[in-house]
Every structure is written in C-alpha cells, then in structure tokens.
Amino acid sequence: MASVPSLASTVEQHIASALSAALPEAGAADVLLRRSDRADFQANGILALAKKLKGNPRDLATRVVAALSAPGVVQDVEVSGPGFLNVTVTDRAIVETLAARLADDRLGVAHAPNAGATVVDYAQPNVAKEMHVGHLRSAVIGAAMVEILEFMGETVIRRHHIGDWGTQFGMLIQYLIEHPHELDRSADADAPAPGTGSAAEAPSEQAPSEQAPSAEAGEAAMSNLNRLYKASRAAFDSDEEFKARARDRVVALQAGEKETLALWQRFVDESKVYFYSVFGKLDMEVRDPDIVGESGYNDKLAETCRILEETGVAERSEGALCVFFDDVKGPDGKRVPLIVQKSNGGFGYAATDLSAIRDRVGELGADTLLYVVDVRQSLHFKMVFETARRAGWLNDDVHASQLAFGTVLGKDGKPFKTREGETVRLVDLLDEAVDRATAVVREKAEKAGLSEQEIEENGRYVGIGAVKYADLSTSAVRDYKFDLDQMVSLSGDTSVYLQYAYARIRSILRKAGDVSPAPHPELALAPAERALGLHLDRFGETLAEAAAGHEPHKVAAYLYQLASLYTSFYDQCPVLKADTPEQVANRLFLCELTGRTLEKGLALLGIRAPERL
Ligand code: ARG
C-alpha cells in the first residue's frame, strides 16, 4: 500500500542534490528532467541556471556530474550539447522499481498531494428526447474523469444535470391529459416494466446500473415519448385552443399544481427508464441520487436572482435581469448579456446553472466544478463562471472549468447524420458497434477456443470499448470522425488492439503453468525490456497529469504506447523459451505488470479487458 517513487523522480532528486552540492549559489534550481531518445532521461535545467549565474553551462554541468552520487540507480551520466545531462539508469533500478509496483495493489501510484472535492457534471441528456452522440461523449469522457480523479484520491460528486424543466412540458403534459394512455408501455405486451431487466439483457453479470432496465423497455419508453412529443408539437402548432391550454399548463407546472407535477414526474420517470437502458448498454454506472436535473434547483432560482440584483452583479435591462461583459458583444458591437431572468419573470438555463453552483459550492462543499459539455456551450459557461466569480461563489479557492468536447462528425467529415439527414440514434450506433465487433471477435474465436457465450460477451466489450476509446483517444475539444470500421480495427490506435495485447499476456501467463513470474534484478535487460520497463514506471505520472489537467486522452495515449512497447518486447524477447529459468521468470514478471497496468488503465477509461479474446 505504499506508493512507489518513479525513476524519474528519484533521478531528479539525485541531480537536485548534486546541483546544490556543486553550486550552492544556485539556490532551489529546477532540474527539468525529461524523457529522451539519447538516454533514459535528460536534465535541461542547467542552461537556465548558467544564464542566471553568468557561467558556462558545460562547466557547470561537469561540476554537477562530479558531485552526483546515485549508486545503484544511475548507470551513466554525461554532459551533452550546450549543457544537458544525459542520464542512463541501471537495469537493476528498473526491475526493482517495477517489482515494488507489482507488489502494491495501486501499482505504486501515489495519491494526489492536495486532493479536494470535485463535482463532475456529465451525462446530462434531456427528458422526453432521444440521446445523441453529444450525450455519449459527455457520458464517456465524464465517466473516465470520475474514475481517474477518484483513483487519485479526489472526493468526487457526480451530477447528471438532465434537462427536465422548461416550457415544452406544458405542451407535453396537456397532451397527456387529453390522451391519457399514450405513455402506457404495458400496451406493448412484450415490454417488461421498469426495473425488471433480466440479467441476460444487461451488459454483464456485474451490470453496473444494478436495476438497468432492459433494452426493450428502454426502446418502448423512448418510442412512446417520441410519439407523444411529435403529436403534442403538431397539436401545439396547428390548434390555437390547444396552444392556449398548453400555456396555462406551464403556469400550473411552475406553480407546483399537484396533478400537473405528477404528470411531469411521469415524463421524467419514463425517460429515466430509457436513459438507464442506454447507460446499461454503455456498461456505465449512473446512480439515481446523482441525477439532479434542472428542476432540482427550482427553489433556489428566485434567491439567486435576488442576490445577483442586490449585489449589483446583475441589472434590469428592458425588464430582464441581465449580467453584462465587456468582452461579449454581438455582431452589432452591442454587449450581449447573460439573461438570468426573462422580462416575463421566467428563469432559464443560466439561472439554473448559477443556482447549481451555489448548491455545489455552498452545500456540497466542492472546491472544483468540472463541466463535461459540448464546446458549443463554452460562451454560456464563460459568462456563468464570470458571473459566479463576481458574486463571490467562485474565487481563488473554488474553481470551475469546462471540459469542452468537440463535435462528432460522420465519415465524410460533416456533422453526424443518417443518409436521410436525420440525427443518428445513439442506440442504433451502439448496436452496430457491437455487431461489427462481434464479427471481428468471431473470426478469431476458433483459435482462442471461445464459446458462443464468450463470443457475444466479448463482442459487447470490444464494441462498446471501441466507441468509448474513440471518444477518449483524441484531445476532447477536437472534433472527431465516428468511423466504425476504424474503431474496431485490430491494428492501430484502437481499444481492440489494447484488449488483444491484454488477452495475449493472459494467455502467456496461463501457458506458463507452474512457472511463476518473479523479478530478477541481477539480469541485464534487452533494449525492448528496458523501453517497456521505463514506460511501465510512468503510469502514475501519466495519471497525475490526466487528473490535474482533466485530460483523459493522456491515459489512452499512454496505454496505446504501452501495448506497442509490449508488442515489440514480445517480438524481440522470447518469454517462455528464454535462455534461463531466471530470464523466463523475469519476462513473465514484465508480462504480469504490463497486464495489470493495461487492465487498470482500461478500467479507468470504462473499458473491459477480457481474459481470452
Ligand atoms: N442537457 C444539456 C444538453 O443536452 C447539457 C447540460 C450540461 N450541464 C449543465 N450544467 N448545463 O445540452
């Protein structure tokens, strides 16, 4: 349970001591240790230091080398170029460090030093509406962020800010009152009631959303909601009297009239059946208490506006309560305000988000708020955050940021649409990914000796993993092409490639039988072993960076490189047929640690690693 310092940090410390011994006048100088192609590490800090001390960098570097004493860790250090230090570590240090990692159930990864409490706002679909690829991105990226932060010791509070409030409910509820059986799924004889999804339909026996409704129940719920949405919209647009009744219904809803609220609740519950079935398909845990939609902040809205107005953060303009920003202007050069209350008294998206900030900071005690939301909402969040800062709800100790993600594009590079120009249903996409993945798995299945049940299960893990990995493997803010052929390809930067690397490792370990993996620090390492070993040692650093910078793609990139380095190792270094029993054990040990690291890393990204593939 003890964290293991990385070789990079150990070397950095040794150089820092040598530096202060050789050049006491340098004070606390930065060593600036980097990875390097020429050696294991390169220290660049002496260049800046030489400038400061007005000395010759190569001379200073030579003095630092003379003062360096790191027996057992540093194999070789030389001055290179204008005054860099190239450092090579001993094979022994690599193996010993890795052995300590394998012995630890956190793989030696330290907790973040100043862990706090973060609210992650992600997976926020809208009631009575189909989920789309944007909702998928938020869910996948947000879930990975939650796992990474939690693993690093952060207290994470999940918030699914679903769109469950607004004037459209007037029309929907009024229509339901006039057509009371429109939401009955029991009319569909085969559709099970919510919460009765059988294990066979859930993504696995450890289905995370324990009561995930079946795919059928979810589909039935959504198709009713869709039909109702369209029918009520048609009535609203064509029938003036219905329109008037729908408007009155909005008033009743906002006044909290009982019957109206109960019907509103039916829409929310029905939508949740659908949401949970999709999250179940995505093999993703979403917990009911964490779903706090827009309506959850209704009782705070008036107060939020009152505070903003009283403190002068917001002002009345043409009847509306507005916040202005000097740098937010429209095409006409006039400032575009954030409207917190409309002139008719209604509250909108901004008032809700501001109230949510008060709740998350004041009541939940968070010091970081992270919003995993489409980049097209960036202006909204910029204005909301700035307003909250002016009001003092955000400050030097409490930060908010948006983890903005780009648009999902079709293969043709245009926003993702069907051939008929309709938005693609998320469920269809996921089903197709699983179908394609199952075909890929099936092709190799015979060799791996998989049963039909395993093929189907692996097909789901590979297909859903492929979709998640594609979302996570590029920097979030970039648009990306949704290309299923590429996603389930066995070569290249895909999750399947990582999953196969893992399965291959497990297969070798099974074949090893009684021969146990064991580190042998006395052995010399081949170049491919060193490269793999040094990369394995960087897992903790990578996670720390991904957590601090809210960049899950760094974990994906790390894992891809790990699998690539493992492939080279596997090609160049026979494992079970190595020369000596010690070498076999040591290579098995490298296999084992690589497997554990891959499995953990993939789990943080929400991707399963089957034992056999
Ligand atoms: N429901 C919104 C949408 O579908 C996303 C909500 C984002 N979160 C927030 N706190 N505004 O676009």
Instruction: Report pLDDT digits (tens) over 377-410.
Output: 999 999 999 999 999 999 999 999 999 999 888 8
The answer to whether residue 124 is domain-embedded is: no
Q: Average of pLDDT values for 408-432?
A: 82
Report CA(61)–ligand 1 centroid distance (Å). Answer: 54
User: What atom in ligand 1 is closest to the CA of residue 356?
Assistant: 10
Instruction: Identify the residue whose C-alpha is closest to ligand 1 atom 4.
Output: 125
Q: Are 142 and 123 in contact (CB under 8 A)?
A: yes
Q: Which helix (H) or strand (E) holds 435?
A: helix 426-448
Q: Are 439 and 414 in contact (CB under 8 A)?
A: no
Q: Which residue has the higher pLDDT, 406 or 183?
A: 406
Report CA(123)–ligand 1 centroid distance (Å). Answer: 8
Q: What is the pLDDT of residue 212?
A: 78
Mind listing the pLDDT tens digit for each residue in 557-577? 999 999 999 999 999 999 999
Q: Are residues 178 and 281 in the same domain?
A: yes
Mind listing the pLDDT tens digit for each residue in 242-253? 999 999 999 999
Task: Tell me which residue has tokens 């230090």.
Answer: 85
Task: Tell me which residue has tokens 């204005």.
Answer: 383
Q: Are residues 84 and 170 in the same domain?
A: no
- The best mutation among 161, 291, 357, 376 to test binding of ligand 1, ranked by most ligand atoms within 8 Å of the C-beta, falls on 161
> Does the CB atom of residue 164 touch ligand 1 within 6 A?
no
> Does the CB atom of residue 121 touch ligand 1 within 6 A?
yes
Report CA(373)–ligand 1 centroid distance (Å). Answer: 7
Cα(99)–Cα(152) distance, integer angstroms: 21
The answer to whether residue 316 is domain-embedded is: no
In total, how many domains does the chain have?
3
Question: With bands split at pLDDT 50, 70 and 90, how would you rate the model's confidence at 488?
Answer: confident
> Does the CB atom of residue 42 touch ligand 1 within 6 A?
no
Mind listing the pLDDT tens digit for each residue in 9-37? 999 999 999 999 998 887 777 899 999 88
Distance in angstroms between the alpha carbons of the first and the last residue of the chain:
32
Using the 3D structure, point to which of 89, 107, 133 is the last residue of a domain: 89
Q: What is the pLDDT of residue 96?
A: 98
DSSP, residue by residue, 21-36? HH-GGG-S----EEE-
Structure tokens given for 23: 């050049």
Q: Give me the CATH number covering residue 466.
A: 1.10.730.10
Taking 60 as the threshold, does the pLDDT of residue 209 lie above it? Answer: no
Q: Are residues 442 and 549 in the same domain?
A: yes
> Does the CB atom of residue 161 touch ligand 1 within 6 A?
yes
DSSP 8-state assignment for residue 290: G
Cα(447)–Cα(445) distance, integer angstroms: 5
> Does the CB atom of residue 294 touch ligand 1 within 6 A?
no
Report CA(142)–ligand 1 centroid distance (Å). Answer: 13
Using the 3D structure, point to which of 289, 319, 354 is the last residue of a domain: 289
How much of the chain exceeds pLDDT 90, in percent? 81
- The best mutation among 377, 381, 402 to test binding of ligand 1, ranked by most ligand atoms within 8 Å of the C-beta, falls on 377
Q: Which of 190-199, 219-228, 352-361, 470-479 has the lowest mean pLDDT?
A: 190-199
Q: Average of pLDDT values for 159-187?
A: 92
The answer to whether residue 135 is domain-embedded is: no
Taking 60 as the threshold, does the pLDDT of residue 338 lie above it? Answer: yes
Taking 90 as the threshold, does the pLDDT of residue 277 lie above it? Answer: yes
pTM: 0.93
The answer to whether residue 353 is domain-embedded is: no
Report CA(349)–ligand 1 centroid distance (Å). Answer: 9
Q: Are residues 67 and 201 in the same domain?
A: no
Structure tokens given for 515: 């021969």
Closest CA to 8 of 101, 87, 109: 87
Q: Give me the CATH number covering residue 40.
A: 3.30.1360.70
Mind listing the pLDDT tens digit for each residue in 302-334? 999 999 999 999 999 999 999 999 999 989 999
Q: Are residues 587 and 454 in the same domain?
A: yes
Q: Are residues 201 and 76 in the same domain?
A: no
Q: Angle at Cα 448 formed by Cα 497 and Cα 434, nearest 5°? A: 55
> Does the CB atom of residue 551 touch ligand 1 within 6 A?
no
Question: With bands split at pLDDT 50, 70 and 90, how would you rate the model's confidence at 484?
Answer: confident
Taking 90 as the threshold, does the pLDDT of residue 192 lie above it? Answer: no
The answer to whether residue 360 is domain-embedded is: no
Using the 3D structure, point to which of 219, 254, 289 is the last residue of a domain: 289
Q: Are residues 77 and 171 in the same domain?
A: no
What is the Cα 380 distance to its own chain's centre? 22
Mind listing the pLDDT tens digit for each residue in 596-605? 999 999 999 9
Taking 80 as the threshold, does the pLDDT of residue 203 lie above it? Answer: no
Report CA(138)–ligand 1 centroid distance (Å). Answer: 9
> Does the CB atom of residue 154 touch ligand 1 within 6 A?
no
Report CA(163)–ligand 1 centroid distance (Å). Answer: 7
Q: What is the pLDDT of residue 207?
A: 44
Q: Where are the beta strands (DSSP E) in 380-481?
A: 399-405, 408-409, 480-481
Q: Average of pLDDT values for 201-224?
A: 70
Q: Are residues 80 and 187 in the same domain?
A: no
The answer to whether residue 16 is domain-embedded is: yes
Q: Where are the beta strands (DSSP E) in 240-385?
A: 315-317, 320-323, 338-341, 368-374
Instruction: Identify the residue whose C-alpha is closest to ligand 1 atom 11.
Output: 353
Amino acid at 482: F
Structural domain of 568: 426-604
Report CA(261)–ligand 1 centroid distance (Å). Answer: 22
Cα(341)–Cα(548) distance, integer angstroms: 35
Q: What is the pLDDT of residue 417?
A: 76
The answer to whether residue 599 is domain-embedded is: yes
Q: What is the pLDDT of residue 206?
A: 44
Q: What is the pLDDT of residue 193?
A: 46
Q: What is the pLDDT of residue 106?
A: 98
Q: Are residues 453 and 562 in the same domain?
A: yes
Question: With bands split at pLDDT 50, 70 and 90, how would you rate the model's confidence at 1?
Answer: low
> Does the CB atom of residue 296 touch ligand 1 within 6 A?
no
The answer to whether residue 231 is domain-embedded is: yes
Task: Tell me which residue has tokens 């309506």.
Answer: 295
DSSP 8-state assignment for residue 44: -
User: What atom in ligand 1 is closest to the CA of residue 162?
Assistant: 1
> Does the CB atom of residue 126 touch ligand 1 within 6 A?
yes
Q: Are residues 174 and 264 in the same domain?
A: yes
Pairing of strands 41-43, 408-409: unpaired
Q: Are residues 577 and 455 in the same domain?
A: yes
Question: With bands split at pLDDT 50, 70 and 90, how would you rate the model's confidence at 479?
Answer: confident
Report CA(230)–ligand 1 centroid distance (Å). Answer: 22
> Does the CB atom of residue 139 touch ligand 1 within 6 A?
no
Instruction: Identify the residue whose C-alpha is closest to ligand 1 atom 9.
Output: 161
User: What atom in ligand 1 is closest to the CA of residue 353?
Assistant: 10
> Does the CB atom of residue 124 touch ligand 1 within 6 A?
yes
Q: Are residues 67 and 179 in the same domain?
A: no
